[in-house]
Amino acid sequence: MSKYIATAAIRGSHAIVLEAEKTLSQAIKELGPDTPVAFTNTAYFLPTIYGYTGTKVQTLGDMVPIMEKARSFLAPVPADRLWLPYLGETLDAGVATLFAEEIIMGVRFVRGEQPERMPLNGIKVQTSEVSGAFTSPDEEVGAGRAAAAQSNGHYTLNGPIDDIQLRTWGIQLVDGRMPGFAAIVGCAKSNEVAVRIVRELQRRGILIFLCGNVNGRSIIHQLLEEGVQLGYDTYTVPFGTDTVSAIYPLGFATRSALTFGGMTGGQARDILLYNKNRVFAFVLALGEVDDLKYATAAGAITYGFPVIADTLIPQILPTGITTYEHVVSMPFDEIEGKDDLERADRLVERCIEVRGVKIRMAQVDIPVAYGSAFEGEIIRRDAMLAEFGGKGGITFEYLKMADSEDVQDGRVELEGPDLDTFKEGANVPLGIVVEVAGRKMQKDFESVLERQIHHMINGAEGVQHIGQRDIAWVRIAKGSYQRGFRLRHLGSILHAKLHADYSAIVDKVQVKIYTNKAKVEELREVARGVYNERNIKTANLTDESVDTFYSCTLCQSFAPSHVCIINPERVGLCGAYNWLDCKASYELNPTGPNQPIAKKGLISAEKGEWESANQFLYQHSNSTFNRLTLYSVMDAPMTACGCFECIMMLIPEANGFMVVSREDTGMTPAGMAFSTLAGVAGGGQQSPGMMGHGKYYLVSKKFIPKEGGLKRVVWMSANLKESMESELREACQRIGEPGLIDKIADGRNATTVEQLMAFLEEVGHPALTMESLI
């Protein structure tokens, strides 16, 4: 252990613990010990403290014993003339630092100082360069969000990752699209280097957390000055301009273990090992490393996260707490490379090597960057060259199987004018026809591959894609056009990605792109006929019509005992995979997470229980569970990882169930918000009376038939009722209860059991007269 690092870290820890003590003391004096403390829209209280100690910090007074514990972790600062192997004392100091930083952030929340409002100091942030979200082609919500983010000469940073986003990212964390995360602390050598580092990480799909500064200047300033989009949508999240905000990435890591790993507060060793072995994160320290950064880095190392610095600092190269090296120094100007951009590339490569991050990247030959981090990019109207589809536009996308002799692999044809001829801001017709040939290709796989067009095109920097089929909407940024991007590159993307991702069933790909209005309209009608045929076939695909279900164990990298079993009439609980997806996945990877389960040994048709499914569950849940029913929530329901779109829970007083959306942050009649409920149901657990599920399971004919189906739903998140209104009304009509949706309460009229019961009795909900569930 480097004495220099140990001395700096322990010294930094002493300083930040003292600062936290003073901050807390002053807050208690002014506000009182009973003042509530919470990180907004997150579970697990102050998560790092909760993970390490099991203490639920809910008030300022609850922080006092935590500060005493932090103080107890501090060893004396090493004497100048004495050298010892200071590893234990340094790691303890790191933990004390994390506790102190989380206490400081908790107090800042109480005082309304979080999320941080960063002074722009002359930085001009254009609304077209700030990430947001569109809800419809004519409503650019992101622009309003951008304006709110930079009011009165300030830019509002992120604060801790909210639970909705954590769970939304869950499937990307486990399927390889998001292979790890980088906590970048400090300031790069130049703006150009800062952008290059972020782009190289984005290109690899790595989630990026930004915090800290060097002499008052942060990488956040550098990226905003260069117009880089920051936010959830682009995997680039700005937490704060001081080192204390680095506690948020470590809180995120702790919450990952609690959310997906089925752990509880106080299981410190298990949580740390979980992160070392399953969460591939690292710290990249840019610029000067001071005492507090050393102390915070020591805390990160306890999680198994190595630290890589672009300055000359002592190194800790032996393995142990981390998988490979602990601390690596790469003085930027000494990195081999012809210029600073190449040195930035080498720095990123070294970070990935030291942490052992496994990267899956397709080589896509286009003139702009490509990677999953660009999928959330928003191209605002004043930044776009042209758009296709959207309000008043005409567009379609259609993928079809073809005979091998009719497909010339790699061929991309454009019929009609290209981007060079369009008037800036024009809405142009667009048709994309993808023809695929392969010995193992099946007609059923057409729709599976076609749905991937959205993700594939969206991966290009400066290209926005929303929707699918004949409601797709595409925008191309001026900047991408200026760098050489043309419509043929859409075909290049689809050719490269279909080969990279579906090589087991795809042998040849050719793409035809149309911008001639008459031709687009003609072919759109052909495509619509095929869409309708597929819809009819999908509607007729039932559990009884197949002899095989499929497993999905993708989330076992985070929730080791979780096993999803997907049948035609029930999507995966994350909502991302259906039966056809799993069938195609098995063809692609016969030893992968989607394995066939033959329907053998029927035990109960009513509950949906088969011996073969039970055996598979036992063998693949680490022998944790031995029974599973597909059609019941009360008897051996499916396990839940943490990525679920909804949670269903029994409300005994109402003789029915409530369904809570992960996008709902409000209170429920159970006395718990979604994040708390998810902590009970997730982590690979099986909880009778409580179950995670995909939102479209609600309108399935196989929705909990053992308990009575949709008639048992007595409360539902308002956003679900609104976003799925037509589908829910159709399902209610099908079961002979056309007015049922209006009899289901939501957060606008009931957040307690008493309010719920009053509402149900007033409207005459059928669950009140059904057979008792208990």
State both tokens at 346.
């080498």
At residue 87, the pLDDT reads 83
> Are 386 and 480 within 8 A, CB to CB?
no
d(CA 244, CA 96): 13
- Stretches where the chain sits below pLDDT 50 are 126-148
Angle between helices 579-588 and 445-458 (to 10 degrees): 80
> Are 147 and 128 within 8 A, CB to CB?
no
Closest CA to 628 of 613, 606, 640: 613
Report the sign of the C-alpha dihedral through residues 283, 289, 290, 294, in that order.
positive
Radius of gyration of the chain (CA): 27
Pairing of strands 384-389, 426-427: parallel
Q: Where are the beta strands (DSSP E) in 28-116?
A: none
Three-state SS for 168?
helix
State both tokens at 530.
């095929």
At residue 212, the pLDDT reads 97
d(CA 525, CA 533): 13
For 536, counting Cβ atoms within 10 Å of its Cβ (0-12 exposed, 13-18 middle, 19+ buried), the class is exposed
Report the sign of the C-alpha dihedral through residues 293, 298, 304, 308, in that order.
positive
Question: What per-residue string of b and e applies to 620-642 under the rule 16 or more CB within 10 Å gives b?
Answer: bbeebbeebbbbbbbbbbbbbbb
d(CA 289, CA 298): 12
At residue 360, the pLDDT reads 78
Q: Which residues fall within 8 angstroms of residue 500, CB to CB, at 6 or more apart?
A: 362, 363
At residue 3, the pLDDT reads 86
Three-state SS for 523?
helix
| Share of the chain residues as helix, strand and coil, in percent rounded to the nearest 5 | 45, 15, 40
> Are 635 and 643 within 8 A, CB to CB?
no
Q: Give the other-Cβ count within 10 Å of 731's Cβ.
A: 20
d(CA 77, CA 13): 10
Residue-wise DSSP of 622-633: TT------SS-S
Q: What is the DSSP letter of 551?
A: E
> Are 132 and 147 within 8 A, CB to CB?
no
At residue 138, the pLDDT reads 37
At residue 632, the pLDDT reads 97
What distance separates the 2 farthest-apart alpha carbons in the chain?
85
At residue 125, the pLDDT reads 65
Closest CA to 168 of 387, 362, 19, 376: 376
Q: Which residues fall within 8 angstroms of residue 258, CB to CB, at 6 or more apart?
A: 43, 44, 47, 50, 51, 264, 265, 271, 679, 683
> Are 201 and 237 within 8 A, CB to CB?
no
Q: Domains of the chain (ranges plus CATH)?
A: 3-110 (1.10.8.190), 117-355 (3.40.50.2030), 372-525 (3.30.1650.10), 544-769 (3.40.1470.10)
At residue 354, the pLDDT reads 95
State both tokens at 435.
């023809």
What residues pair up with 564 in beta bridges, in sequence order?
Answer: 552
Q: What is the DSSP letter of 543?
A: G
At residue 79, the pLDDT reads 76
State both tokens at 374.
């660009």
State both tokens at 695.
């939102």
Residue-wise DSSP of 388-402: EESTT--EEEEEEE-
d(CA 714, CA 757): 9
At residue 654, the pLDDT reads 98
